[in-house]
Structure 1
Amino acid sequence: MRKFRGGLVLAAALCTVFFMYGCQQGETKETAAVKTEAASFPSSESAKAGSFENTSDKTRVFTDSAGREVTLPEEIHKIAPSGPLAQIVLYTVAPDKLAGLAADFTDGAKKYIDEKYWGLPRFGQFYGKNANLNMEALIAAKPDVIIDIGEAKKTVKEDMDALSEQLGIPVVFVEADLDSMSAAYKMLGEITGETGQAEKLADYCDSTLKKSEAVKASLVANQKKSVYFAIGDNGLHTNAEGSIHARVIEQIGAENAAKVEQASSGGGSEVSMEQLLLWQPDIILADSQALYQTITTDSVWAELNAVKEGRVYQIPSAPYSFMSNPPSVNRLIGILWLGNLVYPEQYHEDVKADVKTFYDLFYHVQLTDAQADDIEK
């Protein structure tokens, strides 16, 4: 979960509108059930993993990643994502249950997203500096539940409880990072009822991480290669060592060349060409076509061995980056893609086949060979 403060203020400012609307329209069946059904809550031990307890034929109790016991409808038909990261994950597990979007799909993403999802209502996001919640659209969509997915902050319980109380809609938090994504999918399968799809996604997460951990453990010191992750207009900003946005580098067993302080903002850490010349990374990754052109043609960058030897690669980015932006499930295919580039002897990947499998399973699209080639080249 990202920083909540901005959205919480916005939701508080708009809650009067919601309750005026509710008085005029009357409670939905879902809201009424949430308010009136009695529940006996799960034990604190079961809360750690997430669990259900049926309370009647119409509702159930779910214990989320924050240990909160949330009463939900027995069957979930409509889900509202709390923000863009939640939207991506929910799209992979239950696209037809999305009541709306936190953010519109980009033109590049639309090439790989079924057109029927493009016109879903846009709610905006509930928190953070980009909070832009459209209360009217959310109310009109009548979601059964709002799901927040991401890292747990210290105030996650208070934040989720406040949001649920203000909106009159159940809010569930599902903790998810790269290591816990499999468990997150299993929890989402329980919430949404899409247990079969969730299990497939969880298995993919487990197998991909298991493979990368095995490769990482097998590498000796002189096999470790360094990678520079160039971002921004000129490539002199980077996602430094330890950054969540650079996790794929470390996950495959490589070293992040940028051993500098992590940036607190999304723009990355600023570095100099002098530092790059001292680091001499084995491989350079560029996060856009324009930056790739700059790095491979500019005379200053030509002083780097990786440029001289043709070891500069553009990161695939459609519908989402293989490395980050956002740092979500899209990083799983990034592990196989980058692993094959850096350690082909250990990964032995058929990258085209991997891309086609991932897009079919996660993005629900069957790529042609030409599309797969275009994405990963």
Structure 2
Amino acid sequence: MRGLLLLICCVFVMFPNVAPASQGGHRDAQPQRIYGTAPPITHLLYVLGADGLIAVNAPLRNPSNNADDRFLREWFRHLPVLGGWHGNRHPNLEEILRQKPDLIVSWDTPLLQDKVDGDLGRIGYKALAVNIDDTANYPQVFRQLSAVIGRAKRGEALAVWAEQQIDDLQRFVATIPPDERVRVYYAEGRDGLQTECAGSFHAEPLRYAGGINVHQGRQTTVTGLQSINMEQLLAYDPEVIVVQNPLCYRELFDDPLWQQLTAVRQGRVALVPKTPFNWLDRPPSFMRLIGGHWLAAQFYPQRYPYDVKAKARAFFELFFGVRVDEDDLSRMMFPAATRAIGKGGA
């Protein structure tokens, strides 16, 4: 603690203009050293072309994200892990000071932002906050952030593409009458008995894609992962189950209790793609722009009107500069294709 206090004192002497952005996010010069406070923000900065990123918040490759080398540039893959404010984690403030960022971008979400602002204020920094809890916010955020980091042309290209995908999906979902929308359970954790309530930003893609989350309620923590029991899940009896954990996915079909569920009996269980980042959640990122279409194609395989693989091809080429073929898409989009519900239409 003494070391941190000493650094705080020194930083105001050595770097009097330490705040990375003004109230409105305007800057006199293009930032050279950029830090995102959480994985959704850091990943967003990366695809916008922020080559001044100084760190990532957690190892890029983890149980929720494949982080394939093919899709991520070498310099990004080799950035140091500095931590961040996400889940129950927080970074080493002393190390942030040592790194001397001239722009900090934070995730403006109600359950987290006050903590981030307070911690950064202690070391003399003010973050530029962007709200990405709603997928529909991404076009505006692409434009705002890209202007700040000097990548306006890149940001406009991503924003235009995102607007089209959001419009396509919203128009499709509007054609599904409320009483015909599928009831969905979002299964997380090794046993599938952790989930997210309908009001959680973790579960936003379910609503975005036209599903009805069977687990109602209001989000009370950033991490989420609300525990339920099998009795409650049997009472919900969802029509579709969306699964994050591949081991859970493989085993639930052979579990006598899970076999009682309509979704399992009918094979309407989808395993979430994770290449290069999770398509839906953990982190809840721009991947939802394609993940929402993938999900809608799973929910409504006979109704979904678009070529979701064509959309995915365009997404990977635009966002990651990688061309993917049919085999790539099949492996990514249906990682457990023998039982994935997408076989019927998308």
Conserved in 2, the CA contact under 8 Å of 1:281 and 1:306? Answer: yes
Query: Which amino acid counterpart does residue 173 of structure 1 have in structure 2?
Result: A
The reply on whether 1:280 has 2:237 as its aligned counterpart is yes
SS of aligned partner of 2:161: helix
Select the residue among 76, 84, 91 that pairs with 2:31: 76
Give, in whole Å, the separation in 1 of the partners of 2:291 and 2:82: 29
1:324 to partner: Cα distance: 1.1
Q: Which runs of 5+ in 1 are unaligned?
A: 1-9, 36-60
Residues 159 and 296 (structure 1), Cα distance of their counterparts in 2 relative to 1, 3 Å cut = closer
Bigger relative contact order (CA 8 A; separation at least 6): 2
Query: Which amino acid counterpart does residue 101 of structure 2 have in structure 1?
Result: P
Select the residue among 126, 129, 132 that pairs with 2:91: 132
SS of aligned partner of 1:347: coil
The reply on whether 1:121 has 2:80 as its aligned counterpart is yes
CA RMSD of aligned residues (A): 3.1
1:214 to partner: Cα distance: 1.4
Give, in whole Å, the separation in 2 of the partners of 1:83 and 1:76: 18
The reply on whether 1:172 has 2:128 as its aligned counterpart is yes
Give, in whole Å, the separation in 2 of the partners of 1:287 and 1:293: 11
Conserved in 2, the CA contact under 8 Å of 1:122 and 1:134? Answer: no
Give, in whole Å, the separation in 2 of the partners of 1:313 and 1:228: 11
The reply on whether 1:322 has 2:312 as its aligned counterpart is no
Counterpart residue number, 1:344: 301
Query: Which amino acid counterpart does residue 75 of structure 2 have in structure 1?
Result: K
1:247 to partner: Cα distance: 1.0
Give, in whole Å, the separation in 2 of the partners of 1:318 and 1:143: 29
Conserved in 2, the CA contact under 8 Å of 1:296 and 1:312? Answer: no
Counterpart residue number, 2:6: 16
1:251 to partner: Cα distance: 1.2
Query: Which amino acid counterpart does residue 316 of structure 1 have in structure 2?
Result: P
Conserved in 2, the CA contact under 8 Å of 1:161 and 1:171? Answer: no
Conserved in 2, the CA contact under 8 Å of 1:71 and 1:170? Answer: no
Residues 74 and 224 (structure 1), Cα distance of their counterparts in 2 relative to 1, 3 Å cut = same
Residues 109 and 329 (structure 1), Cα distance of their counterparts in 2 relative to 1, 3 Å cut = same
Residues 292 and 272 (structure 1), Cα distance of their counterparts in 2 relative to 1, 3 Å cut = same
Q: What pairs up with 1:235-314 in 2 under 5 angstroms?
A: 235-259=192-216, 262=219, 264=221, 266-314=223-271
Residues 356 and 154 (structure 1), Cα distance of their counterparts in 2 relative to 1, 3 Å cut = closer
Query: Which amino acid counterpart does residue 14 of structure 1 have in structure 2?
Result: L
Residues 206 and 13 (structure 1), Cα distance of their counterparts in 2 relative to 1, 3 Å cut = farther
Give, in whole Å, the separation in 2 of the partners of 1:340 and 1:291: 22
1:91 to partner: Cα distance: 1.1
1:362 to partner: Cα distance: 2.5
Counterpart residue number, 1:199: 156
Normalised by the length of structure 1, the TM-score is: 0.76
Give, in whole Å, the separation in 2 of the partners of 1:289 and 1:316: 10
CA deviations on 1:108-151 (whole Å, 9 max, x unpaired) are 21433222212223322258741122634x45544321111332
1:340 to partner: Cα distance: 0.9
1:290 to partner: Cα distance: 0.3
Give, in whole Å, the separation in 2 of the partners of 1:219 and 1:89: 31
Counterpart residue number, 2:67: 109
Conserved in 2, the CA contact under 8 Å of 1:225 and 1:342? Answer: yes
Give, in whole Å, the separation in 2 of the partners of 1:356 and 1:318: 13
Conserved in 1, the CA contact under 8 Å of 2:183 and 2:240? Answer: yes
Identify which range, 82-91 or 273-282, moves more after superposition: 273-282
1:272 to partner: Cα distance: 2.9
SS of aligned partner of 1:109: coil
Q: Which runs of 5+ in 2 are unaligned?
A: 335-346
Give, in whole Å, the separation in 2 of the partners of 1:195 and 1:241: 35
Q: What pairs up with 1:138-177 in 2 under 5 angstroms?
A: 138-139=96-97, 141-151=99-109, 156=114, 160=117, 163=120, 166-167=123-124, 171-177=127-133
1:199 to partner: Cα distance: 0.9
Between the two proteins, what is the percent identity of the paired residues?
25
1:161 to partner: Cα distance: 8.0
Query: Which amino acid counterpart does residue 78 of structure 1 have in structure 2?
Result: R
Conserved in 1, the CA contact under 8 Å of 2:273 and 2:279? Answer: yes
Give, in whole Å, the separation in 1 of the partners of 2:187 and 2:106: 30
Conserved in 2, the CA contact under 8 Å of 1:80 and 1:98? Answer: yes
Counterpart residue number, 1:52: none
1:230 to partner: Cα distance: 0.9
Normalised by the length of structure 2, the TM-score is: 0.83
Which structure's residues are more often strand, by fraction? 1
